[in-house]
Amino acid sequence: MLKKTALLLLAITFARTITAQETEQKRKTIETTRIEKPPIIDGVLNDDAWRNAELISDFVTFRPDNGKTVAAEYQTTVKVIYDDDAIYISATMLDPDAANIPQEFAVRDNFSQADFFLVTINPNDDGQNPFEFAVQSTGNQADSKVSNGNEDFNWSAVWKSAAKITAIGWQVEMEIPYRAIRFANSPVQSWGFIFIED
């Protein structure tokens, strides 16, 4: 019981200072929403848990036009929420040609000819040794630990995700348990996030 209480306090404090990093030059700070009932991880973003979460939007291009705002018809929006056990991330990726979103299947930790949404989580917000979690438009998962800039896809965590193609693009839901990532036992947490859609 003591462990669960400590985790609850930790979740409340870190969630107030989660940061979304679009590029090294421009960062956004968001306030997450604590939820009582987690969303069903099915790729359908109609759960009450998402209703009051702050919307992260106005993302920029990384390549080839670094820093240029993504065109409105291709914009991505993201939400981050949390409870005692996990953080939850949802994303909507707009695509005017949704029927032709690439969806080549692959095994876990392999990227095929498919769109993907990737979140890099740095619990220390220090630019070192983050964790990466990716979901492809097929629903395939990939995850890695990063050390000195090298991604180790041999590392695998237990987490949930789902993807769904819609009439206007595609959607992702992710549930990442706290046990899947390491972070300091500190009363105030500042986590860095990078969201990438390709």
Identity of the residue numbered 101: I
pLDDT in tens, 84-136: 899 999 999 999 999 998 877 776 666 777 898 999 988 777 777 788 999 99
Please report the pLDDT score of residue 6 as a whole number: 33
Token pair in block for residue 170: 């595609």
Token pair in block for residue 97: 């040609």
CATH number of domain containing 54: 2.60.40.1190
Total domain count for the chain? Answer: 1
Contacts of 82 (CB under 8 A, 6+ apart): 11, 15, 32, 33, 34, 35, 88
Please report the pLDDT score of residue 157 as a whole number: 87
State how beta strands 192-197 and 116-122 pair: antiparallel
Buried b (16+ CB within 10 A) or exposed e, 22-43: beeeeeeebebbebeebbebeb
List the one residue out of 153, 160, 150 whose CA is nearest residue 106: 153
pLDDT in tens, 138-159: 999 988 888 777 776 778 889 9
List the one residue out of 80, 76, 74, 85 whose CA is nearest residue 54: 80
Q: Which domain holds residue 185?
A: 2-197
Contact 159, 175 (CB under 8 A): yes
- pLDDT-derived band at 189, boundaries 50, 70, 90: low
